[in-house]
Amino acid sequence: MAHISFDSSNLSTFIQPNELGEMQAMVNAADDQLRNGTGAGAEYTDWLHLPTDYDKDEFARIKKAAQKIQSDSKVLVVIGIGGSYLGARAAIDFLNNAFFQAQTDEDRKAPQILFAGNSISSSYVHDLVQLIGDRDFSVNVISKSGTTTEPSIAFRIFKEMLVKKYGADGAKSRIYATTDKERGALKTEANSEGYESFVIPDGVGGRFSVLTAVGLLPIAAAGADIDKLMEGARAAENEYVDTDLSKNEAYQYAAYRNILYRKGYETELLENYEPTMTMFAEWWKQLAGESEGKDQKGIYPSSANFSTDLHSLGQYIQEGRRTLMETVVKVQEPKHDVVIPSEDSNLDGLEYLQGKTMDYVNDKAYQAVVLAHVDGGVPVMTVNIPKQDEFSLGYLMYFFEVAIGVSGYLNGINPFNQPGVEAYKTNMFGLLGKPGFEEIGKELKSRQK
């Protein structure tokens, strides 16, 4: 029995009973492309078996490095962009106290995990340097090539800080490089300087890399049990192998979202009712958007955090254009619950709720929203997870990874490349005058006049 459950019962007014079965042949073909390597981008599908087929020696080194970071650092600066940071950030928020990053060093019982290299904002870096202050810190720089602009700039800045604080030799022992196994600028530097390094596997693209050292080292440094994380993903890997749509709920999700997409529901909102899942939605948005947005087609991934966004986006979702579908990730058992206290005056009109728990109210809000949105013409799917723990997170991440992989093939695209990402980089290099891009820069500057 699956650890998480997919609820499609609220699609009955949008999808006819026969439509799912009619997707079976397409799903079989997509599964063959994914699992037998017959589809486009097959060289980047090693993530499919990561939960069972991973480097056990490196995994042990990751845990040992995390322990060292915990022993000698109050802060770990994780430098990376896109898939090089989103998975770790999502997991750390998902698994920890809502104010984990704001807790004191003593209360947190693990290093503060701060992220850099995911923008080119000078103000952000300045403020981050101030936040670190005089505290001991280490750096985990994550880059396949070592030449990606945003993380490369950040690495220069924080490496200089380490050298000034600890000296050249001391800095080297506090830098952890997660990069290519054999080549690239960062790998060359790691070898020459003696940084401890970890591998981004060749067959795993960035947005699917959370269960490699890319995500595992920061997650472990934050105090999470990465053995349990992998165990959950391994259980999901074993669960989602049957192509039968009556049994495989990850494939059901992929099929239903494609049926809806063909009916004109072109935007998918991933929604939650827990603020600690905001960054999980950001991880999902890259996974879905970078995998499926190609050839002028694909479901546009967005997100909403309820009940907060019901007071901002709720009006549009309820009565705006009927191009939205919703997927809710619903936690069955909260980390903590709070009883609503009694008051004699009842000026706020909450007497009918006193003595009940906040999670009870949160759950009723979820039920009410589903009913209202379905009545308003918005299809709603729900992925139920038992709790916010490592096992559930590993399971949930694998659920979405395999579903998005199949979904991409159902839509006739390569889910594992990202050719469009290079367009802005080429323009930026030209405008900045990077060697080799001078002619592009001249042409772009002439267009700006």
Residues 174/139, Cβ–Cβ less than 8 Å: yes
Q: How many separate helices (H) and strands (E) can be counted in the chain?
A: 17, 10
Helix (H, G, I), strand (E, B) or coil at 392: helix
Residues 329/385, Cβ–Cβ less than 8 Å: yes
201: DSSP letter:
-
Name the H helices within 173-275.
185-193, 213-221, 226-239, 249-262
Q: Which of 286, 418, 337, 407 is nearest to 34 (CA)?
A: 407
Q: Which helix (H) or strand (E) holds 431?
A: helix 422-432
Catalytic amino acids? 290, 425
Q: Rounded CA gap, 425 and 149, in Å?
A: 9
Tokens of 358: 């906040």
Q: Rounded CA gap, 107 and 110, in Å?
A: 8
Helix (H, G, I), strand (E, B) or coil at 81: coil
Determine phi and psi for 35, rounding to 5 degrees.
Answer: -90, -25
